[in-house]
């Protein structure tokens, strides 16, 4: 189950990344990414994507607040997508422990982003999680 959820998060990250490059149909793109990645939890992936898109403005604001000195445009695109997913899960989804959510986002950033993406995502999500606990 954990592997399916990881692949679901990767598929959602790819859709978010792709939509910053050009207009897309997010649902169709998610299905295509799912086919490329292998077996994933499609219900979880769809719910995650819809949640991020529905709360996009709030998530951008929260990420921006916890990444002082970094505009969304300045961030590595993969890190930005991983942060949006992680922030959504921490603030709204509540179906995985914060440590799992943060670890997943960090791993995705390290695997697909720049050399510093994992550390950046770790710092921002850690600050968000601490603020969210209060």
At 36-83, the pLDDT tens digits run: 666 788 889 899 999 999 999 999 999 999 998 999 999 999 999 999
* pLDDT score for 21: 79
Residue count of the chain, please give it: 134
3-state SS assignment for residue 76:
coil
Q: Please state the CATH superfamily assignment of the domain spanning residues 2-133 in this structure.
A: NusB-like (1.10.940.10)
Rounded Cα distance, 100 and 89, in Å: 10
**Predicted confidence band of residue 27 (pLDDT cuts 50, 70, 90):** low
Tokens standing for 68? 């002082």
Predicted TM-score (pTM) of this structure? 0.90
What is the rounded CA–CA span in Å between residue 118 and residue 76? 11
Confidence of residue 134 (pLDDT cuts 50, 70, 90): low
For the packed helices 77-88 and 56-65, what is the interaxial angle rounded to 10 degrees?
110
CA-CA distances (angstroms) from residue 81 to 1, 12, 93, 133, 134?
A: 22, 9, 16, 23, 25
């Amino acid at each position: 189950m954990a592997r399916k959820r990881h692949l679901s998060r990767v598929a959602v990250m790819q859709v978010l990344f792709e939509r910053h490059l050009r207009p897309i149909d997010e649902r169709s793109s998610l299905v295509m990414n799912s086919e490329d990645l292998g077996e994933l939890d499609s219900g979880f992936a769809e719910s995650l994507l819809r949640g991020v898109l529905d709360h996009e403005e709030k998530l951008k604001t929260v990420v921006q607040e916890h990444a002082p000195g970094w505009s969304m445009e300045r961030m590595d695109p993969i890190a930005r997508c991983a942060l949006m997913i992680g922030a959504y899960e921490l603030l709204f989804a509540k179906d995985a422990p914060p440590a799992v959510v943060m670890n997943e986002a960090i791993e995705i950033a390290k695997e697909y982003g720049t050399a510093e993406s994992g550390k950046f995502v770790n710092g921002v999500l850690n600050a968000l999680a601490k603020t969210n606990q209060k």
